[in-house]
Amino acid sequence: MTAEYPDKPTDAVPPVPESATPYGAVPPPPAGAYGAVPPPPAPAYGTPPGAVPPPGGYGVQPPLSDSDQRMWSLIAHLGGIVTYFVAPLIVLLVFKGRGAYVENQAKEALNFQITITIAIIVGFVLAFILVGFLLLAAAGICSIVFGIMAAIAANRGELYRYPISIRLVN
């Protein structure tokens, strides 16, 4: 303790003399503070010590079980009724390579929903001559009916192929 500051410990770092550093220069850091090599990061939870993580981030995902493939195929078909081509596209991109059944059914649903989207766009264009309203109604009814039929078949584990579909995604 010093007389001026009773709470200040005496083992504080002594000030650098003015002659050691020129005006405006930054003094060197204390030994061992910045030059030391940082310790290696701790392994992730559940990783055995010394294990090397796979290159490229998350690595290869395991294949889906049969029930999971049926469930995601069902979501691709039913999601297409509400979101058009967005739900089948997400299912295809997320689960590509993890199961042949879910990949096949997501492609089928995506192709059909792209076809329905094209029919809706053409229906809006033709609505000016009053023929488009019939096409819009037919596209909406086909989307609901065939989507439900495909979802039922996907839930059973059967391959379903839409009767009216342009095959754009192979």
**What whole-number distance in Å separates Cα of residue 114 and Cα of residue 117?**
5
How many structural domains is the chain composed of? 1
Give me the pLDDT at residue 61, please. 81
Q: For residue 59, give the amino acid letter.
A: G
**Residue corresponding to tokens 């391959």:** 159
- Asked if residue 21 belongs to a domain, the reply is no
Residues 98-148 have pLDDT tens digits of 999 999 999 999 999 999 999 999 999 999 888 999 999 999 999 999 999
Give me the pLDDT at residue 13, please. 62
Contact 88, 76 (CB under 8 A): yes
Within a domain: 53: no
d(CA 86, CA 110): 8
Evaluate whether residue 109 is within a structural domain. yes
